[in-house]
Structures are given as structure tokens and as C-alpha cells.
Amino acid sequence: MVESFRIAAYTRISVDLELNRENTSIENQKAIIGEYCKTHFPTSIVDYYEDRDHSGYTFEQRPGYMELRLKLLSRQYDILIVKDLSRFSRRTGKGLAEFEMLVEDSDLRIIAIGDDVDYPTRDDWMKIKLYFFVNEMPVTDASNKVTSVINNRQNKGEWICSVPYGYVMTNTKKMLFEVDEPAAEIVRRVFDLYIDGWGYKRIANYLTDQHIPTPRMREKARKEAAGDEYRKKIRENWSIVTISEILCNDFYIGTLRQHKYHRKKINGQDIALDESEHIVFENHHPAIVDYRVFATAREQLKKRTTSHYRGTNKYDNVYSGFLFCGDCGSPMFALSRRDLAEAYTCGTYHVRGTKGCSSHHIRADVLDRTVKLYVEKLKSGSERMLAALQTAIDNEATSVRDSTAAVTDLQTMLDDAREELKALQRQKVRDVMRAGANADVIEQTFDALIEECANRINGLQNQMKMVADTKNTIIRVNRISKMVMEILDEIIAKPKLKRTDLDLILDRIIVYEDHLDIKLKADVDELLQTGALSAEKIANFNSDTENIEKTTEILDSVAVQSAKKRADKVFCVHVVSNGDPLEIYTDREGEVIFKKYSPIGELSLFAAQYAETLHRVGELSIVICDRDAVIACAGVPRRDYAEKQLSPEFEAIAEARSFYEFSGSDAPVLVTRESGSWAVGCAMPIISGGDLVGCVASVFDPNANTRDRSDREVESKLILTAAGFLGRQMEG
């Protein structure tokens, strides 16, 4: 009597090439299994399970197998049959674990027809291990080849995936796309509404109520119009996430940003990469949104993230968020009443009265006049800078064309070098096989040639990155320059300023009882001080101080606030240079990086905690600074020292790159440029990667004779340890 079994047959194919009819490969697998069962199990019933267009590298993403797996674990079948083990899994570790678990926990018999496997009836475990190992090799090899092709196309600036909403593919083989004007108009409307004060949810609801098709709906209509079937799920309601992604995507200003994610394993999770690792091509394709609109929206995004934004205010308080009290540091509070002129007062005074701070206030019309006067003087005092910016803008096309030609030439040289490397590797194999006794000498010779060629390839790749960075920097700086020049002209011409004007150029205004300090955004400040971010200007930023000082003299001014029943109040208006200069750095691979001059400023919070620890443990007054100003302090009045410029003598101590200790016979070295400040007791420069990045110092009050201490040795060791530790932190 022939025994009957409960048999499950599993078939799978990775890529479904025939979407509109039965897949031939799946049918072939079923036919092979059917013939096998007729011969060996003629009285048994076979149930078929399949997965079309699913990778064999995972189990979880295969719905057909996951359905079958539940039945196998509940022992509804006696035998599992596959055409070969590659249909079961192409991953050695997980495939073997799944295979073993089914056999042991479910008493299952597994047959792979093509591999002549029948386990556990007659085959050994080592044979199965070998088959799994061999089956995984094509997957990893294909993955490496695909990754290499993708990286190569990304480095060349070729688009490799679907385009965002607002664009449409015109040729999927060549990956060509163009602006989809109806959708592009919706993108522009989203930006305009957001800048007008609307939030994500309100914009999404508005687009839904206006019956504007979502990105998926528009894609579906386009596919169906071309006669193609659209399988993705669609939603008729706009989502908050979609609005957020539109506002954050610089693709809409013509920037191609690739290599944003990295996947460590095949079919693994995508890991977001830092922006410094992205491959960026500026002016890559037609823009939908003007850069100024995009920059304004980006500034709004930053402010709303930190200001608990709840929609548009009843009153248009243009300067809210820009004004800070100079006495206590709190934000200025808007006095929003119909019977009062628009004005701002100290936030601490508003809450606590004179117990907290003074009652000084400033009106919005005075601020408008002051900012406009400031901008006029800025333009008159920065004529050379503005002329340099305009020259850079006029020469952009030539500079970009030269950079593009350089990239093309380097790419040709790189392709030739890669072909040479392949030829050397092939020739090495042939000559070593023929050499006989001299094989070692031949091999060493070829190894040296191959290493030299590989180094040349690496150098060409680094040169291409440097040229691409230079090209992108030219475009970015000129783009900012155009925006700044337009805004400066508009501010002068406008009778009343708007918040969108201030967002892009103004950092803050510090209001004291008798004077105002106005700070521009760092990037704008740098542009107007250096003229352009060219390599020569950036590297020699400090040599241009004469012009900066003259500009500052021109910009110092006064603002008058009049009142009916009070005497006129006069504010002195000072220019505060806000921008840390930029320098050119190179990483270990030779890639050019434009960074802020104060890298230790990135550790300001950590430096503050370290200074506080030294103050408590060593009973020392501590200041930690970069090469220009104090970034952290403890044991001294923070208001008097934080962000204050160093004295020339203190800068000289840092530049000397050696330990300093006040002897008592020489004149005390003051910490900052302001008179009456404390003096340096011990100081040790902070060296990171061979570069001077700052200094750690203990300070004392010369007038109080606080330098007479018996534990000088402990003080010196603490300062030396702190400088060494911060230097290592910067290198890390």
C-alpha cells in the first residue's frame, strides 16, 4: 500500500517579468514539483504556495511563505517541496536557522528536487550548508555591483529614483524629468501659505477642501492616461508629512542632493547620513521655487520649532523674537494695544516690574527708522564689498563653466586610470602564471604598479570632490548675495518693514537703556565684510580688519524716540560684528570643507560644564575661549565676559602655543578688550590636530590681589589637563 502524505509545495521568483499573465518561471517550478509528486507520491494531495516579485534574502517580506509558515509550525503538512534550496532562501544564516527550526519543531521533511536534497530522510547537514552558502553568493555579488553602479551615477550627478511632487518623468530609461506646471503651482502655493503664517495641518486641510489631487492621485491619473496599471494605495486627503517634506526639500530650488541614506545590510534599514556626507549638485535642474522664498520658509521652520508657534497673531509684532533686553537678557515683550503705538518692553519687567528689571522700552517705528538707516549706512560703508559680490555674480557662469569642464577632464582621466588598473590586474595574473621560479619578483613588481595606480585613482576622486565643492560654493554664495542685495534695497524703499525681510538678514537687536546693538546673520555679515567667500578671502580674513573697522565707524549712529509729554530719548546704535570668519579645512581624504573659524564653539555647552567643574573643584575663576572671544566662563560675571573679544595680549599668549603663568613682576594681561577686566593667571592653548583652536585660562582680579595663592602647582596642572582634554575632544 502506498502511503499518503500532506504535501506543501512552495514556489518563488525574485522579479516578476510578466505582470499581466501567469509567470512562466513560477509555472515551470509548479510543473517540476507536480511531476515529482506523481512519481514519488502518487496518492498524496499537494497544496501550492507562491511569492511573485519577492527576494529570497528575507522571509518576512514574502506573504506567501509567511502564510505557509504558520501552517507548517502547526503541523498541517508532513512534507515541504521546493524546486531547489535557492527558492527557499538565499541567506545562509537565517535560511539554515529556519530550515533547522522547521525540521526539529514541526517534524517536517524538506525536499529540494534540483539539489537532490531529502532531509532528514537521507542527506547530511554539511551538504545543505554548502548549498545555502553557494546560493547566497549571487545575491551579495549582485548587491555589490548594484551599489557600485548607484554610487558611480550619484557621483556623476545622475538622478536615479522617482522625482518629487512638482516634477514628472519624461524618460524612465534615461531618467529625464521636467517641471509639472500644475503641480508646481501647488508647491509654490504651499510655500506662500506657510510664509503667510499657516501651519502644516491648515495647509493640508485647505488643499483637501479645494479638491486638489494629492501626489499619489496625480501619479495614478498620469499612469492610467498612459495605459498603465497603478497598484499603489492612494489617499484623497493631504497629509501633514507631505506638506513638511515639500517645505524641507531643496530639490525645489534646483539642488540635487544624493547619498542621503546608507544601508549596512542587504534589505536592511536605511540609515540617514549627515549633510556633510551628501553628494550635492547646485543648479542641477529647473527650480520651482525662488531661493528667497525657500530661505524665508526655512527660517520660519527654525523659529517655529523653538518658539511654540501657534499660528498667526492678532497683532503683527514684526520684531518679536529679535529684541532682547541688554540688562537682563530676556526677550522683549510686545505691547499690543489699539490705543498705544506698537512698542516693546523688557519681558522680565513685564512679569516682575522694577524688582526684575528697568522699564525701558522702544517703539516699532523707531526700530524701523533705525534698521533702515543702518542698512543705508551699511550699503554706503560696504560699497567695495557689494561691488565684489556683484562681480562674483556676473562671473558665475564663467566660473561654473570652468568647474564643469574641470570635472569632465578629471572624469576622463579617472576612467582611463580605472581601465589601466584592470589591465594591470589581468596582466599580473597572466605573467605570474608564466614566470615559474621568478613569480615572486613579478608579483611584487605588479603590486607596486597596482598600488601606484590605485593611489592615482584616489587622488583624482579627491580632486573631483574639491572641484565640485568649489562649484557648489560659488553658486551658494552668489545665490545668498543676490538675495541680500535685493533685501537691502527693498528695506530702504519700504515705508514699514515686514518680518520676512528681517528673518533673512537680522540675527538680533539688543536693547539697553541708552543704546542698541544690531547683529546681522552670520552669513550676511561675512559676505558684507569679505566681499565673497573665495579661497583667498577666507584664508586671509583677518587681514581685512582695517576695512571692517572703518565700516563700523561709519555705521555707529543714534536713534531718537520722541514722546508727547516726555523729553526725547536718544539711543546710540552700535554695529556688532556677528560673523565668525570661515576657513578652509581638509579632511583625511583631502576633501575641502568650509567651516566656521571657531571649531571649539561647537563644544560650548561642554566647555561651560567643564569650566564650572574646574571652578568648584579647584576654586578657580576660569575662562575658555576660541581664537577670538570667550565662549565659556565660571567664577566671573558671565554678562561681562561671555562672547566678549579677547585682548590683543591674551591673543598673543594663545598664539604662542605654550604654557603661560603670571609672574607678578610683569603687567597683568587682561582677558578682554574692555577696561577693568580680570587678568590671566595661568593659560594653556588648546591644540587639536596640530591647529590652535582656543585657550583655557584661570583668571584673577588684579585690584583684589587674588593671585596670592600657595597651590600654584595644582592650578597649573588643572589648566594643562583641561587644555589637553578639550583638544582631544575636538579631534574626536
Please identify, among 286, 305, 324, the residue that sits at the C-terminal boundary of a domain. 305
Q: Could you tell me if residue 363 is inside a domain?
A: yes
Q: What is the pTM of this model?
A: 0.48
Claim to verify: residue 397 and residue 326 sit in the same structural domain: yes
What is the domain extent for residue 665? 599-731
Cβ count within 10 A of residue 413: 15
Indicate which CATH number applies to the domain containing 195: 3.90.1750.20
Please identify, among 548, 579, 610, the residue that sits at the C-terminal boundary of a domain. 579
Ramachandran class of 75: left when φ > 0, alpha when ψ lies in -120 to 50, beta otherwise: left
DSSP symbol at 416: H
Q: How many domains does the chain have?
A: 4
- Can you tell me the distance from the alpha carbon of 176 to that of 167, in angstroms, rounded to the nearest whole number? 10
Q: Could you tell me if residue 162 is inside a domain?
A: no
DSSP reduced 3-state for 167:
strand
User: In what helix (H) or strand (E) does residue 682 lie, and over which residues does it extend?
Assistant: strand 679-688
Claim to verify: residue 279 and residue 409 sit in the same structural domain: no
- Can you tell me the distance from the alpha carbon of 60 to that of 420, in angstroms, rounded to the nearest whole number? 44
Task: Give the pLDDT means over successive 10-residue stretches in the chain (732 positions).
Answer: 82 61 70 89 90 80 89 90 87 84 86 87 80 75 60 62 83 80 91 87 92 88 81 85 90 80 64 72 82 82 66 66 83 73 81 79 80 70 55 61 68 81 82 77 82 80 66 65 70 77 77 77 56 33 33 46 57 50 39 44 74 85 87 84 85 88 84 78 86 88 65 84 84 67
Indicate which CATH number applies to the domain containing 35: 3.40.50.1390
Claim to verify: residue 558 and residue 648 sit in the same structural domain: no
Q: Could you tell me if residue 591 is inside a domain?
A: no
Beta bridge partners of 621: 699
- Can you tell me the distance from the alpha carbon of 123 to that of 111, in angstroms, rounded to the nearest whole number? 10
Is the separation of the CB atoms in 51 and 62 below 8 Å? Answer: yes
Claim to verify: residue 293 and residue 322 sit in the same structural domain: no
The Cα angle at residue 109 between residues 105 and 112, in degrees rounded to 5: 125
For strand 256-258 and strand 279-281, is the pairing parallel, antiparallel, or unpaired? antiparallel
Indicate which CATH number applies to the domain containing 683: 3.30.450.40
Claim to verify: residue 117 and residue 213 sit in the same structural domain: no
Cβ count within 10 A of residue 564: 4
Claim to verify: residue 484 and residue 546 sit in the same structural domain: yes
Q: What is the pLDDT of residue 526?
A: 52
Angle between helices 439-493 and 364-381 (to 10 degrees): 120
Beta bridge partners of 646: 672
Is the separation of the CB atoms in 65 and 49 below 8 Å? Answer: yes
Claim to verify: residue 575 and residue 677 sit in the same structural domain: no
CA-only gyration radius of the chain, Å:
35
Q: Could you tell me if residue 584 is inside a domain?
A: no
Q: Could you tell me if residue 556 is inside a domain?
A: yes
Claim to verify: residue 334 and residue 397 sit in the same structural domain: yes
Claim to verify: residue 83 and residue 220 sit in the same structural domain: no
Q: What is the pLDDT of residue 578?
A: 43
Claim to verify: residue 146 and residue 198 sit in the same structural domain: no
Cβ count within 10 A of residue 92: 18
Exposed e or buried b per residue across 307-317, where buried means at least 16 C-beta atoms within 10 angstroms of its C-beta: eeeeeeeeeeb
Sign of CA dihedral 242, 246, 250, 251: positive
Please identify, among 305, 330, 354, the residue that sits at the C-terminal boundary of a domain. 305
Claim to verify: residue 553 and residue 688 sit in the same structural domain: no
User: In what helix (H) or strand (E) does residue 271 lie, and over which residues does it extend?
Assistant: strand 270-272
Nearest of 491, 581, 478 to residue 532 by alpha carbon: 478
What's the CA dihedral at 613, 617, 621, 623 to 10 degrees? -30
Q: Could you tell me if residue 589 is inside a domain?
A: no
Claim to verify: residue 190 and residue 116 sit in the same structural domain: no
Q: Could you tell me if residue 327 is inside a domain?
A: yes
Q: Could you tell me if residue 108 is inside a domain?
A: yes
Give the C-alpha distances (Å, rounded to integers) separating 348 from 330, 508, 642.
6, 18, 21
- How long is the chain? 732
